[in-house]
Structure 1
Amino acid sequence: MLGEVVVAIVAGSLALLSDAGHMLSDVGAIAAALWAMRLAARPPSGAWTFGWKRAEILSAAANGITLVVIAAVVAVEALRRLLTTHPEVSGGAVLAVALVGIAVNIAATWLLAKASRRSLNVRGAYLHLLTDLFGFVGTAVAAVVIVTTGWTQADAVASLLVAVLMAHAGSGLLAASGRVLLEAAPSGVELTAVRTHLLEVNHVLDVHDLHVWTVTSDLPSLSAHLVLDDACFNDGHAPQILDQVQECLGGHFDVEHSTFQLEPRSHQEHEPGVH
């Protein structure tokens, strides 16, 4: 990264400078990911009943914000160069650094690709490296254009492409982490389907106060009130119903953490705030 900054200043390349800025954010993204993983591994204690598992989601959101902000800065400067200036850019120097950057980022991306990207935290660090790789490829192409045609504005065009890639990756991370932080239902869980499956269990008459959210990556949770036949409480059959609905959730929706309140039909008139 330091070598890239030096060459970018000497060669007058915005594409290299934007890549260097993005590489600096890579350092922060990986450091934040490692720190968040350590926090997430802490066991629940005291007021932190779920532990620090959402630290990984906060790290993913921070990575998304970083990508979007850097993309905006690079895009503004690239547009300024395209519209107002015609800078001298040393295509040979830019090409040499870009090729080294491609090799380094292929190795780094390959290493991180072996980790599970179902975690938003790991996915955020991976996207930083992947967009950096694409950025170097774009910079190398721009350098070839400059060397062969002398059109130095190719450097600014490559910077714009890098900015678009960063913005796309960052907005995706923000959308995914935002769903978790705002406690929306996981994207693969349809509430109507969950309700239908629960009502198919014998003796379940109604389902209300149904909530599904994600604590952290790969940890969806569900809570609901189930209205049962009064006879289930009289003959002690209610625990078997609980086993059936939890088995239904695990089998159809991969939800292992669930909490149910079992209620007789006669309790409905005393239930406040049903939704």
Structure 2
Amino acid sequence: MSSPATIAVEELDDRVVVTLHRPQARNAINAAMISELHDVCAGLEDNPRLLLLTGAGGVFAAGADIAELRARGRDQALRGINSRLFDRIARLPMPTVAAVDGYALGGGAELAYACDIRLASPAATFGNPEPGLGILAAAGATWRLRDLVGASVAKQVLLAGRRLAAEDAWRLGLVAEIVPADDLLKRAHALLDRMARSGALALRLTKLVTDAPGGHPVTDDLAQAILFETQEKHTRMDAFLSGERS
């Protein structure tokens, strides 16, 4: 990937850390950022690793770029410029974590909703003010937020303009933890460390089955059948049993 202009990317053996970085626009998501995040996704699809998403300067992302949205018409809406990216992030093979400090509004909120797990600082604020601009939250909020917090709260956010402060987001299950801003990335890495200690294929299949619509026992059985035949399963269980006997 060429040197990105709107994000900072740190590549590690078991994870990729992406920091949204448009300080002049409070990390608003524009076309350049979308393209650069697609490049990140392509790399993670080819070489599956954990993903940590965060924002620079005490803001996650304060929305989509309004000037660009103002210029978009029907044809751009039908292309799903933002929604296709967020869907791609949601479908990444390995777990994703959003570390949210400050505003996650509009498209920024929808990007956070697309991640598997969210951590928040006490200053985190989630909201979808799109109807106030004459549009709707069309990049996943209308159904992802409902799945995450329930229809009643989702309608309060999407229709009545309610913003969810960190405490509300934690109480409703939207975020897993509230962490002081100075410790937010450290805690996010600790969470990723814990996941990285699990079997990579087990994580991938667990995410795939969990996200599959409807769910079915046969899906569970097929995924488990694959894992039961792996050497990693035998190695990990032998290690567990050896420790149990010692």
Higher helix share: 1
Structure with the bigger RCO (C-alpha within 8 Å, sep 6+) is 1
Shorter-chain TM-score: what band? 0.3 to 0.5
Bigger Cα Rg? 1
Tell me the TM-score normalized by structure 1: 0.30
